[in-house]
């Protein structure tokens, strides 16, 4: 059987990880050597070609023959690496925007004579500050081919969510399956949700493992309950400091999405999940990305797709959804976490100031970004009336 070490040695023989520039290597600390250096080198080389292509778009839109061949070889190298890693049981993904760029380049690059850049190819946004290549854990494998016993745990407009216990891993997993009667457009959204989850790696966003095209379903991380259930059950006992940690974990997840150009557009108490651990420790997992929208996406949203989402009263048309609308929803969630109340206007003190700023009906008075909101929450201190026990 081919091991990851075998594959890594082979890749390092073709792509020297020591060639990685520090600024790119720093983006891949989540990957083990030598993959961190290999990914950094490939990322830098892609950016070099994309920068040159941007230049050529202003000079006749002709991509030089030598550069065309080099970029084609680089794309093939990335494809071969994906296949090699798959043999070792490791899934390799390229971030959605770069994956689309690569596919677009494959459609017009030629080996000789140079490549005319189609008018449909717009100026490329170069990514220098975030990773664009990732590995993720292989999909959970059961002991046998016998289907697992599924238990229904949730239902939305377009999908059902079941859970099953895996004896091999001694762990519970979730299976999200598209409903049989949904439209092709909604099925495309369902698949786009999986593609997004596979393309990102962040501790406060739910992880997806593999997609079953035959059943239109995907296996994903299982969480114990929704934020709504967690707060409702424990509102009288959850400490102030725990509420602050939960708030920050949620905001970190949303900020990560915004930084990478993705709007969630469906924030609710039911779409924020909680994983429970020993001694009361919890981990927030943002989920349900079926209505997410990347800045380059054509997907829009209609009034029929609300289903419990927090709606910004300033939002007149869903096709005009922007980051400040997510910020409004985040403000409602922050209020709920700290007060246990679903209505606004009950949070007071410094928490109330944050909520009021996020949900202001004057858009210019809202936080400019989720990052600014995080900064405000990070400096919060427990009210003086809070007992010492509640501070732990």
**Known binding positions for ATP:** 176
d(CA 262, CA 145): 37
Buried b (16+ CB within 10 A) or exposed e, 177-201: bbeeebeeebeebbbbbbbbbbbbb
Residue ranges at the known binding site: 176
d(CA 11, CA 84): 9
- Torsion angles phi and psi, residue 131, rounded to 5: -65, 145
d(CA 105, CA 120): 11
Instruction: Count other C-beta atoms under 10 Å from residue 316's C-beta.
Output: 8
3 contact partners, CB below 8 Å, separation of at least 6: 88
Helix or strand run (H / E) with residue 244? helix 240-259
86 Cα distance to chain centroid: 22
Cβ 88 vs Cβ 4: under 8 Å: yes
Integer CA distances (angstroms), 306 to 54, 168, 236, 299, 358, in order: 40, 39, 30, 15, 21
Instruction: Count other C-beta atoms under 10 Å from residue 204's C-beta.
Output: 18
Integer CA distances (angstroms), 79 to 38, 83, 86, 206, 333, in order: 14, 7, 11, 27, 42
């Amino acid at each position: 059987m081919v091991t990851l070490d075998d594959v890594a040695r082979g890749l390092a023989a073709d792509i020297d990880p020591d060639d990685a520039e520090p600024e790119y290597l720093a983006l891949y600390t989540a990957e083990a050597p030598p993959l961190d250096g290999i990914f950094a080198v490939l990322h830098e080389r892609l950016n070099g070609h994309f920068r040159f292509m941007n230049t050529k778009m202003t000079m006749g839109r002709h991509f030089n023959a030598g550069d065309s061949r080099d970029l084609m070889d680089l794309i093939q190298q990335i494809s071969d690496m994906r296949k090699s890693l798959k043999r070792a049981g490791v899934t390799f993904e390229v971030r959605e925007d770069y994956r689309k760029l690569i596919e677009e380049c494959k459609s017009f690059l030629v080996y000789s004579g140079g490549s005319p850049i189609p008018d449909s190819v717009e100026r490329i946004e170069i990514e220098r500050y975030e990773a664009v290549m990732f590995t993720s854990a292989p999909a959970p494998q059961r002991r046998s081919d016998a289907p697992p016993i599924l238990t229904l745990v949730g239902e939305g407009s377009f999908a059902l969510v079941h859970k099953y216990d895996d004896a091999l891993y001694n762990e519970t997993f979730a299976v999200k399956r598209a409903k049989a009667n949904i439209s092709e457009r909604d099925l495309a959204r369902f698949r786009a949700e999986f593609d997004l989850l596979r393309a990102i790696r962040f501790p406060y966003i739910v992880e997806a493992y593999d997609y079953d095209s035959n059943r239109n379903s995907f296996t994903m991380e299982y969480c114990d309950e929704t934020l709504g259930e967690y707060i409702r059950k424990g509102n009288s006992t959850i400490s102030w400091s725990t509420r602050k940690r939960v708030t920050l974990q949620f905001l970190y997840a949303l900020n990560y999405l915004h930084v990478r150009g993705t709007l969630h557009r469906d924030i609710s108490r039911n779409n924020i999940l909680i994983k429970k651990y020993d001694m009361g420790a919890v981990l927030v997992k943002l989920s349900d990305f079926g209505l997410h929208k990347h800045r380059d996406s054509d997907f829009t949203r209609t009034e029929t797709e609300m289903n419990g989402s927090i709606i910004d009263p300033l939002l007149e048309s869903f096709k005009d959804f922007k980051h400040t609308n997510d910020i409004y929803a985040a403000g409602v969630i922050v209020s709920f976490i700290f007060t246990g109340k679903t209505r606004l206007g009950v949070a007071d003190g410094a928490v109330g100031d944050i909520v009021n700023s996020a949900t202001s009906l004057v858009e210019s008075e809202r936080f400019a970004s989720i990052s600014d909101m995080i900064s405000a929450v990070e400096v919060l201190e427990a009210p003086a009336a809070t007992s010492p026990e509640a501070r732990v």
